[in-house]
Amino acid sequence: MVAWAYSFMKTGRATLFVDRVLRYEARDATPRFATWVAFRKAVMDEFFPKNERQRALTHLETSAYHQNRRSTNEYIDEFRDLIDLSGYMEGLAIVMKF
């Protein structure tokens, strides 16, 4: 089941994660995760930040958060997600972050 999950992890950080796991398995000649539960915990630790609200707030507060080369729709989609995760409710605060 774990190897099956690897087959879906083909882009970005997920690919790097699988590459590290496969190198470990090749080097030690043993599976990196003995159970699905162990694999799931590793994925959760690697890909799901402990405090989503804090991450969203920090991301919105940096001067590095700009549209850059993204489309307007991509920028707005990410902005909406960040606002939702951050817990901002006040309209003026949301407008200022946008």
* Average of per-residue pLDDT across 42-69: 81
Instruction: Say if residue 86 is exposed, middle or buried (CB neighbours under 10 Å; 0-12, 13-18, 19+).
Output: buried
* Average of per-residue pLDDT across 77-82: 89
C-alpha–C-alpha distance, residues 32 and 25, integer Å: 6
- Selection from 41, 20, 43, 24 nearest residue 32 by Cα: 24
Specify the pLDDT at position 71. Answer: 92
pTM for the structure as a whole: 0.53
Which range, 19-23, 79-83, 94-98, has the best average confidence (pLDDT)?
Answer: 19-23
| CA distances to 4, 20, 30, 32 from 23, in Å | 17, 5, 11, 10
